[in-house]
Chain A
């Protein structure tokens, strides 16, 4: 298949960004993007625009108890080795019938106008009408030397720990370790950093809840970040 020109990519980038470009056309376009920074940047802008379009959809409060049902569902699935797949959940390739398309098209007329006329909603806030459980978490700064590179979040003494990392001068796998009061080291687990950023968490094993510090160690054993819990 001949390579696409920049002009041909520009013609297709809107459909690609909206996820509606047929696979057979998307593949050569991606091939072009891999070697063309300018088209990659421009297509990236289109992808961002597609996300902004979705942002215009106002938030709507779900039915009462939705949050609890979600929680019950994910927790039950967590203890289940496999979960049943809902029919057609990944059937994106299925084409809608013409009646469906026609109905959507009719709705789109209204939506195009309505999206332009209503204020957006963030979906932020807490929603729901039930009382909010007050869990107090502790935030501990994570440092690389003297530079703040993220936060460590803990609860209990701690019973769990998770962290967010930004702008760390390291990429690839790092291991999170707990430092005990006597200097004992307990590896909690590993996760990957992409361009110096990432987030991760794990329960804290019993017997290590008196940890005094958390540190991130790269594969060579170098401590790349540290946060003091006391």
Chain B
């Protein structure tokens, strides 16, 4: 039953989350630093503007801090939970600002390979590579539809309006793309049922 002394940054994700509201500032800081790259990355990818992204990222941690007690580990990881919060807030921010969220040139920079670090590639590439590869294999119009819907939260009607296609076509592109990706991750075992 020995107690083990560890630096706070070695604590598990859930333990850090549990300590977020009751632990010292070091715990909160460790939590923010562990997830800030992912949270800020999602925010920036959606809103496109660093200042707005920082605002979204800050709101994400504030919300996590308020709702830490409602986190349900049976429904996913802390990282996925935070990512969802960041994504929803980013979409809200884009819609409220009614402004151009992302310039394609900026997007290339934001998503460029410089954002990666070796240890992160080691940890996550295997899981993500198959899905990324599957997106690459999609017909361009399907990849585009699923990104507009999945990343930017655009409804099928908005996708249809954007591409000048019938609503039914937009729905089909989203559905077919999602089913193809789902089948891929099933085959590759990315989905952990």
Contacts and interface: CB of A to CB of B under 8 A. Distances in A.
B118 to A, nearest CB: 10
Interface in B34-51: 34-42, 44-45, 48, 50
Interface in B71-92: 71-74, 76, 79-80, 83-84, 87-89, 91-92
Contact of B18 (A45, A138, A200): A200
The majority secondary structure among interface residues of chain B is helix
Contacts of B186: 45
Given A20-B155, A115-B111, A110 B132 contact: no
A106 B108 CA distance: 12
A163 B117 CA distance: 31
B18 A140 contact: no
Interface in B57-73: 57-59, 61-62, 65, 69, 71-73
Contacts of B103: 107
Contact of B135 (A51, A115, A151): A115
Contacts of A198: 73
Contact of B36 (A21, A46, A66, A163): A66
B50 A63 contact: yes
A46 B74 contact: no
Interface residues of B, number: 130
Contacts, number: 403
Given A59-B115, A117-B132, A136-B5, A67 B33 contact: yes
Contacts of A160: 19, 22-24, 27
Given A92-B95, A118-B111, A53 B155 contact: no
A218 interface: no
A111 B140 CA distance: 11
B92 A71 contact: no
A75 to B, nearest CB: 7
B187 interface: no
Interface in A126-146: 126-128, 132-141, 143
Q: Which 7 pairs show the lowest CB-CB distances between chains A and B?
A: A123-B38, A59-B37, A88-B96, A105-B162, A116-B136, A135-B26, A112-B143
Interface of A: 11, 14-15, 17-22, 41, 45-46, 48-63, 66-71, 73-75, 77, 86-92, 94-128, 132-141, 143, 151, 153-155, 159-164, 166, 191, 194-195, 197-203, 227-229
